[in-house]
Structure 1
Amino acid sequence: MLKWTSALLAITCLPSLAQAHEIWVERDGAGPARIYLGEPGEVLPEGGDPEFEKLKAPRLVPAGQAPQLRKTGYIEVAAPAGDVRVTDDSVFAPWGEDGKKEGVIYYARAGRNETKAVLPLEIVPTAPGADSFILIRDGKPVAGAKLTAITPEKWSRAFTTDAQGRVALPLKDKGRYILSATQEEKGDLSLTGQKVATIYHMTTLSFFRD
């Protein structure tokens, strides 16, 4: 088994809750999608993550009409066949002083069959089922970006995308992997009706390796 470092890559300028938490999606076969808010590198606490209640109504992309059922620690929703994508910009309200407020938008995808990006920030396989990926932001690959991979045993390791925005991961173990990346946007921005100076775009990709 490959030795992985044990610490998640943190974005230190985020507040503690937003820094530690991410949204990710799990799906088994053609079953319903399970949408989580928590720390993917940690074992899910019994009863779910304490901040799970802040995950109110994540949006499927493309939008769907299926009801969202709240379970213990996750939201369950039926989704069309194929990879599942979710976004949510209202988990944590913008924080900080006026003129310098910051906020976070979450994106999440389950499955590595499709080789195109649909979300504004997305980790995309280079081929269906591949162990190499491209980080895509607004339709363009992102070079020199940090990407964290979490193994089925909850070990994590940081990688850096190359000049083409690609990274090849040495995946060996069977089970569910979760990849994550964060990109920062600065400017005269707006988030959930509030003016912000910085938005952190946080994206995850989960998939099951047989």
Structure 2
Amino acid sequence: MKAKYLAPLALAILAPSVQAHEVWIERDGSGPARIYLGEPEEVLPPEGDPEFDHLKAPKLVPASKAPMTRKAGYLEVAVPAGDVRAQDDSVFDPWGEDGKKEAVAYYARAGRADARAVMPFEIAPASAGADRFVVVRDGKPVAGAEVTVISPDKWKKSLKTDAQGVVAVPLRGKGRYLLTASQKDEGAFETSVGKVAVLHRIATTSFLVD
């Protein structure tokens, strides 16, 4: 294969791989937060997702100087009590042609004690401890957003938010649930990995049912 065809082929492979991956946070009680990169509907390999090395230093929200320790498949960080949030737009390098480059920004949250949404794109509980969640973009609810629910036993279901941006999550027993939503924005965006014309925003929220 000629060298000039290698880059487009690599980009064709990279794009779906990047968009299939998500960043999510898990926390048990008041213990440390564990920040993952991977495909949450799949069983995580013992050593972590093959792309895990791309997750370097997600930014906690609010900002924190607490050190992150790299474990087998996740980053571990001590955080104060309560919900945990982190965002990162530098996990993967931009892909695509010049002038049409695309990138991905991740917004992850663990917990449902706080009904506020403070990141640019976030899935927040409608009220503290609720099983109803709101998809929020820049402080405004997003109607018609697709939200995927992944249950503790890896059962998966896609739902749509209502006119108020709200979706009711079906609970199937005890354990950890993960919600995910995405948006694709086209225009001109400044990211920490450079200027891009398309920005894929992916939000996750995990919570425990005891």
TM over 0.5: yes
**Deviation of 1:16 (Å):** 2.1
Paired residues of 1:54 and 1:92 also in contact (CA < 8 A): yes
Q: Bigger relative contact order, structure 1 or 2, given CA contacts below 8 A and separation 6+?
A: 1
Q: What is residue 191 of structure 2 aligned with on the other side?
A: 191
**Deviation of 1:193 (Å):** 4.8
Q: Give runs of aligned pairs for residues 2-151 of structure 1, distance below 5 A.
A: 15-151=15-151
**Deviation digits for residues 123-150 of structure 1, max 9, x if unmatched?**
0111111111110000000000100000
Structure 2 stretches lacking a partner, 5+ long: 1-13
Counterpart secondary structure, 1:16: helix
Q: What is residue 182 of structure 1 aligned with on the other side?
A: 182
**Deviation digits for residues 167-194 of structure 1, max 9, x if unmatched?**
1122131000000000111112222252
| Superposition TM-score, scaled by structure 1 size | 0.92
* Structure holding more helix per residue: 2
| Superposition TM-score, scaled by structure 2 size | 0.92
Distance 2:175 2:163 in 1: 29
Paired residues of 2:93 and 2:193 also in contact (CA < 8 A): no
**Deviation of 1:28 (Å):** 0.4
Structure 1 stretches lacking a partner, 5+ long: 1-13
**Relative to structure 1, is the Cα distance of residues 64 and 139 closer, same or farther in structure 2, using a 3 angstrom cutoff?**
same
Q: What is residue 9 of structure 1 aligned with on the other side?
A: none
**Deviation of 1:195 (Å):** 2.1
Distance 2:203 2:99 in 1: 26
Q: What is residue 163 of structure 1 aligned with on the other side?
A: 163
Paired residues of 1:94 and 1:191 also in contact (CA < 8 A): no
**Identity, % of aligned pairs?**
62
Paired residues of 1:179 and 1:204 also in contact (CA < 8 A): yes
Distance 2:97 2:43 in 1: 34
Runs of 4+ displaced beyond 4 Å: none
**Deviation of 1:196 (Å):** 1.0
Q: What is residue 201 of structure 2 aligned with on the other side?
A: 201
**Deviation of 1:18 (Å):** 1.0
Paired residues of 1:175 and 1:208 also in contact (CA < 8 A): yes
Counterpart secondary structure, 1:15: helix
Distance 2:16 2:193 in 1: 23
RMSD between aligned residues: 1.5
Paired residues of 2:94 and 2:193 also in contact (CA < 8 A): no
- How many residue pairs get aligned? The number is 199
Query: What letter corresponds to residue 59 of structure 1 in structure 2?
Result: K
Query: What letter corresponds to residue 56 of structure 1 in structure 2?
Result: K
Query: What letter corresponds to residue 142 of structure 1 in structure 2?
Result: V
